[in-house]
Structure 1
Amino acid sequence: MMYHAAARVRKVHRRTGCGRHRSHMSETQSGGDSLPKETRKRGRKVFRWIGIGLLSIVLGLLGWDVATFDRGAWQRDFEALEVAMAKEYANLDWMVEHRGVDLAKLDRDTRASLGGAFTRVQAFLALRRFVRTFQDPHFKLTGGAGRPSAPPSDNGAAPPAPVASCTAAGYEARPVDSRFPFKKMPGFTAVHEAPFPAGVAGELGVIRIAHFGEDKYLATCEAVFTTGLDEDALRAGVRAKLQEALQTAIGALRDRGAKRLLVDLTGNGGGTEWVSEAVPLFTGGTLRRSKARIVSPSCDRTPVWKGEKVCSIFGEPPGTAMLEGKNVWKGPLFVLVDRGTGSASEDFVAWLKDNHTATILGARTAGAGCGYVNGGGRVQLREIGFEVRMPNCARFLADGTNEVEGIAPDVALPLDKSDGEKITALTAAIAATRD
């Protein structure tokens, strides 16, 4: 009896002790949970106050914008823009005649939007819509006043100052690798590195020209830079070095047995007139095409914004431009292009396409066309602090199409597909043109 009673007491004590332990653990856990809850509460308060502060700033800026907005300044600058466009925007007539842009309606709509604007944001959006209506990569609105174009040289002016370095002259290192997966082609072997990567796959040679602006090849610039060179002399030296490298790459492909050559211009957004030196390396014949047309109206064209007929934005019809081939490459030629191929690259394509010297593969080009001759057209919107740049030249293909419409390939390729599909399509396109 005494044994059972003692056992019961020990059981009671064990249960009581366990109960106290569980109670203690519960209190500890409860206390531990309360700390994160307090922290979360404080965090929510901090974020709430931050949100209130940001909202106050936004409302304050909006109030300041409304209070200081000068609608008249935007309207006056817009009128100045239209006057400049009427006589300096090379593609204006094309946009009306071939894209159906209704200038009178566009003028009315933009004026109405500016007249109903109460903030700079509203006015800016109206002006941006106006510019974007033309869908011209060379016609663009930029923030801030840009650098004015250089005045014509004067024989009595001081000689140009030497540049301190390539970077000081604006040269930069840009990637030169291809977008297209050539390295996955069966048997592809690299034979030349930057600035013009090249390789062979069987009898096909591939050469990549990533840029037609010499200022995108910093390493080449640094290889020719010497103290005392001015910008013009440095530019000439870089171009000569690039031409040498391009000829070397073509020669390396030829020496490795390439019988057909593909020039990869995908993503090449253009550059300078250096393109006219590069084109002749890929042919042995004489190339001809119409010269670029430069704006030179013979009348006041501002009534064009009322839908009235005015004189052409161009002067006399241009003559014929010619390039003599250098015969560095003599075999069948292909050029690969895409929506990123524009401006000077389209000039490269047009020379070869119009003269039936190359087969163009890929997708329609960007439609940038001719750009800025001697700085192009520039309108300083001084009152509102913006600048509008516009092309003052236009190039036309043999069929009369403005390059601003882009250049269609002779053979379209599925450049948005998998690497395998792209390679298969490219191989088939080249095989189909085999002599």
Structure 2
Amino acid sequence: MFRVRRVLPALLFAAVPLCALAAPDFDRDAWRADYATLKQALERDYANLAWIGSTQSGVDLPALDRQTRRALDSAENDAQAEQAIRDFVAGFHDGHFSFLTTLQTGAAAAEPASVDLTAADAASGCAALGVGAGGHPGFSLPFESLPGFKLLSDGMDQPLRTGLLTTPQGPRIGLLRLPEFAPTAYLGLCRQVWQQLRSEDSADDMRDALMDALADAVATALQGFAAAKADLVLVDVGNDPGGNDSGDVLTRLFTTRPVHSAPLLVSQSPAGTAYLDEQLHRLTGALQEHHPDPAARRLLRQSTAAFQQSRRSAGDAPCDLSWTWSERRDWNAMPCRRLVEAGSSGGPLDYLPADAIADMTIAHRLNWAQDVRAHWGAWTGPVYVLTDAKTYSSAEMFAARMHDNGIARTVGVRTGGDGCGFMVASPPTTLPHSRLRLRMPNCVRLRADGSDEVAGIAPDLPVLPQSGESDRARAWRLLQTVGADWRTRHGGG
């Protein structure tokens, strides 16, 4: 009896609803209002909502909503309520839809005086530009440790990490590591070309010039593989977090065939409208200020008309996406996704021949890959692109464009699934009670099959981690997989 009496109060205590035990200063209704605000912002601004709400996405959004509401109903304090909202965001599996640092209120500090980088030495100047500040990411697999590997360029003091791999009865492989699609990842390259960079007018111009130098370095590496009689090129974008539009642009260096950028859609939101306005300004500026020849004028007018139509569509009454919280629908059958056409991931035109427009300024405003047209087709042989679960964003764009244009086969693991992020900067969503701040993607890149790139890029040749297998063993197995596929498809060996 003594033990029973001791247990009964505990049982009675456990039967009390959790909401009755909440901390005295915990405002559940305010957290529920924050959650409602977040869902309204998603309906209004989030470019991927229709895809996430589709049956094809793999995300059960109605179930996620129910789970979040239950978690808020049972939360006992602010920490648990915040975790419920964080779990909701994580359930989208979209790395671009994410939390930002919560800001403190108070007076902001004044901007410091600008720094003149033109007098800086290479080490100081590159550091001031932020080059190498994030550290060099670990590459996906340790190919350098395998038999038959020869290092050509270390990617630290030299511009890129490259090497040649020869395996028994296998092809001669040119290995190109791309740790990031942003110039600030390439410290050796920055130091090498600093004398050219310091002649630029601003830090932004220096970064643009460094991006041009990166394209030059990739082209040089590819030409080196050809000179070394490599049978194929393996481009490693494992652990690559993305970066900028070079994930689309650089694909042209791997083939002489026409390469088409992905259809680009922007959210029917202020951010999407801002991007459309930006492109219209650039197109009309080219028409009015750069004296285009008749062929260029025709293309500029066509692109301007397309963006003007999209701008009108952006001003239409948006469709209601609140259904996403209660049901799932077929992506391909949706009459409205609250998205607006915005040219391509490579600019207003998805393709423009290298010799179509002589004026580089006009050519660039139509198709951004024109910036590197001197390097198109630096390599023309077989290509494989290595991806892993930490391949994101612009690196996914690279893998998708290489695959969808028939340039490369993908090998490894499905990518992380960030897809398109931000075509223009836009203010984050701030939840009124908690002050949590979130960024929401304002663009969508479509695959060749019409799906949203945020789903991730599945490899043509899966090479998944296996229990008891070392990274070196998996690297060797991946090379064997690539070699076997190359022999089958290209008759090698």
TM-score, normalising length: structure 1:
0.73
Corresponding residue to 1:427 among 469, 480, 483: 480
Q: Distance in 2 between matches of 1:311 and 1:290?
A: 20
Q: Which residue of 2 aligns with 1:79?
A: 36
Cα offset, 1:217, TM superposition? 2.6
State the Cα deviation string for residues 289-336 of structure 1 (Å, max 9, x = none): 432211116425364366489942212585662266701001111111
8 Å Cα contact 2:134-2:185 kept in structure 1: yes
Residue 314 (structure 1) aligned with residue 314 (structure 2): no
Gaps of 5+ in 1: 1-64, 147-159
Query: Which AA in structure 1 matches 2:142?
Result: P
Map residues 231-270 of structure 1 onto 2, 5 A cutoff: 231-270=203-242
SS in 1 for 2:180: coil
Query: Which AA in structure 2 matches 1:142?
Result: L
Query: Which AA in structure 2 matches 1:183?
Result: E
CA 1:383–1:217: 2 relative to 1, 3 Å? farther
Q: Which residue of 1 aligns with 2:173?
A: 204
Q: Distance in 1 between matches of 2:456 and 2:338?
A: 21
Q: Which structure has the bigger radius of gyration?
A: 1
Query: Which AA in structure 2 matches 1:412?
Result: P
Corresponding residue to 2:458 among 408, 423, 433: 408
CA 1:300–1:351: 2 relative to 1, 3 Å? closer
CA 1:323–1:334: 2 relative to 1, 3 Å? farther
Corresponding residue to 1:96 among 53, 56, 62: 53
Residue 179 (structure 1) aligned with residue 140 (structure 2): yes
SS in 1 for 2:259: strand
CA 1:377–1:262: 2 relative to 1, 3 Å? farther
Q: Distance in 2 between matches of 1:382 and 1:317?
A: 32
Gaps of 5+ in 2: 1-21, 105-112, 118-124, 167-171, 269-313, 328-333, 354-372
Q: Distance in 2 between matches of 1:414 and 1:263?
A: 18
Cα offset, 1:390, TM superposition? 1.6
Q: Which residue of 2 aligns with 1:327?
A: 377
Cα offset, 1:137, TM superposition? 1.6
CA 1:271–1:306: 2 relative to 1, 3 Å? closer
Corresponding residue to 1:193 among 154, 157, 177: 154
Map residues 356-375 of structure 1 onto 2, 5 A cutoff: 356-375=406-425
Residue 213 (structure 1) aligned with residue 182 (structure 2): yes
CA RMSD of aligned residues (A): 3.1
Query: Which AA in structure 1 matches 2:351?
Result: M
Q: Which residue of 2 aligns with 1:390?
A: 440
Cα offset, 1:262, TM superposition? 0.9
Cα offset, 1:76, TM superposition? 3.3
Cα offset, 1:279, TM superposition? 1.4
Q: Which residue of 2 aligns with 1:110?
A: 68
Q: Distance in 2 between matches of 1:340 and 1:236?
A: 26
CA 1:267–1:108: 2 relative to 1, 3 Å? closer
Percent identity between the aligned chains? 31
Cα offset, 1:287, TM superposition? 0.9
Cα offset, 1:107, TM superposition? 4.4
Residue 66 (structure 1) aligned with residue 27 (structure 2): no
TM-score, normalising length: structure 2:
0.65
Map residues 290-309 of structure 1 onto 2, 5 A cutoff: 290-296=262-268, 298-299=317-318, 301=320, 303-304=322-323, 307=326
Q: Distance in 1 between matches of 2:96 and 2:402?
A: 23
8 Å Cα contact 2:45-2:267 kept in structure 1: yes
CA 1:142–1:255: 2 relative to 1, 3 Å? same
Q: Distance in 1 between matches of 2:388 and 2:152?
A: 24
Q: Quick one: higher RCO (CA 8 Å, sep 6+), 1 or 2?
A: 2
SS in 1 for 2:135: coil
Cα offset, 1:388, TM superposition? 1.0
Q: Distance in 2 between matches of 1:314 and 1:391?
A: 12
CA 1:228–1:86: 2 relative to 1, 3 Å? same
